[in-house]
Amino acid sequence: MQKIIIITGALATGKSTFSALLSDKLLVPSINKDNIKEILSDNFGFSSREENLKLSHATYEIMKYFMQRLMMESKDFILEANFHDKEIKELEQIIEKNNYKSLFLVLSGDIDILYSRFNKRSLNRHSCHLSGPTTYDSFKEYIQKNNKINYSLSNIIYINADTFKYQEDENLLRKIEDFIYNN
């Protein structure tokens, strides 16, 4: 049975960095939302939050397309983004329909730590990532909503991303390798 790793969760938890690390370590491709959205933004631009949300929606549709193409070719791969509840439900249906085995890595952390990290990284982020939450309260609301997602598939690892030590956690990496190579 082929496998997919879904890396998702809160903003500023290191999802993109972790997916790149795992992609290199496991020698499987990784589809990352930020990379696709930046390309779309550079080519089409946006001038409002609504237009930026349209770019996000298009990015998700592109990710689904490549996900289904890789599944048609029976490839193992990683899919990474801060997926929302509706998207998770749809991804779970696609996974089941294609008879893939999945591992969800759900990253979260202390809101104050994540908010601080979110603000620091915004100085060097692509402009398409800067139209989201702008105040502490809106950031907190966004994170809390994300934390309420129900995952119906059972293979889930919740990861505390208050620090980035999880990216080097031998126990965690062994579980992920075991999922790819031994199940």
CATH of the domain at 12: 3.40.50.300
Q: Which pLDDT score, from 0 to 100, does residue 113 have?
A: 97
Tell me the whole-structure pTM to 2 decimals: 0.94
Please choose, from the candidates 101, 64, 68, the residue with its C-alpha nearest in 3D space to the C-alpha of residue 86.
Answer: 64
DSSP for residue 67? H
Q: Within 13 Å, how many C-alpha atoms sit on residue 110's CB side? A: 7
pLDDT at 110 over 90: yes
The parent domain of residue 126 ranges over: 3-182
b/e map 96-124, b = 16+ CB within 10 Å: eeeebebbbbbbbbebeebbebbeeeeee
User: What's the mean pLDDT when you consider all of the chain?
Assistant: 93
Residues in the chain: 183
Mean of pLDDT values over 75-103? 95
Report how many domains make up the chain.
1
